Amino acid sequence: MEEFLKQIKTVPGTLGCMVYNDQGQLVSHVFPSIFDQKMLSAAVATVSENLPGLKDYTGGVRMIDFRFQNGRIVIKPVDGGCLVILCEGTINLQSLIISLNVAVKQVEKSLKNATSYPQQAAAVPSTSSGSKASPQDLIDKGPLASYLQGMQTTLAKFMGPMAKIIFLECVEKWLQDHQPVKATLPELVDIVAAEIGDPTRMSDYRQKVSTFL
């Protein structure tokens, strides 16, 4: 899914792109790290709650183009979900529409193939529990291993050899409330940063980690 979103993001002036499923759950996104999970989930909630309200009047929404003082938001409903694209005000909308038309089929196919967030989220823990995958396994060989290891290595620069143990505890804590998918990594960053304590160093950690997340 991310691949298709990245394809849309290649249109000059596109800042970020996300897709949610018909349950109103964020499936995937390619937004810069400045847009955290909460922000994107709130936007998804707004779109998914309000979009049906326009159906009676329009007979079904094919696309919405919101123009703001500092940008543009394009909403493109697809079968099984909806795409939300954030762009610069100067974007060539026609270029974006062409890219969208190309990507929509693939996005719809991906949504149909049950790669949705909750299903994916549900699948990961069951796989984990089924195969007795521990937080350590997730760090070592899980689908997010490269990100997690990067975060752990970065933490070591701030906390020394204790970083490995602390990071493991953070991952355990993160897994209690979140699914181990890329979209929830910002929450893990929050948990880890809180362990550092010092606001300046916390901010430094966040900045370093954001470069590879």
Partner 1 sequence: MFYCSDNSDEGAVGVMAQSSINRNKIVCRTISGMSLAAEGGKKGERVSEINQKLKAIPEVEHALVMTKDGAAVDDTSYEAEVLGAYTQFLARFGGKLGSQLGVGELKSVVVHGSDHHMFLLESKSHRLGVSAKGAGNVNALDAEIRRLLAPK
Helix (H, G, I), strand (E, B) or coil at 70: coil
Q: What is the 3-state secondary structure (H, E, C) of 171-196?
A: HHHHHHHCCCCHHHHHHHHHHHHHHH
Paired tokens of 192: 């880890």
CB of 194 to partner 1, least distance (A): 24
Q: Of 18 and 155, which has the nearer Cβ to partner 1?
A: 18
Q: Of 39 and 122, which has the nearer Cβ to partner 1?
A: 39
Cβ atoms of 19 and 86 closer than 8 Å: no
Residues that bind partner 1 (CB under 8 A): 35, 39, 42-43, 46-47, 50, 53-54, 57-73, 86, 93-94
CB of 75 to partner 1, least distance (A): 9
Q: Of 65 and 187, which has the nearer Cβ to partner 1?
A: 65
CB of 87 to partner 1, least distance (A): 9
CB of 63 to partner 1, least distance (A): 4
Instruction: Give residue for tokens 């950690």.
Output: 205
Cβ atoms of 187 and 150 closer than 8 Å: no
Q: Of 108 and 172, which has the nearer Cβ to partner 1?
A: 108
Contacts of 111 (CB under 8 A, 6+ apart): 1, 19, 21, 27, 78, 79, 80, 81
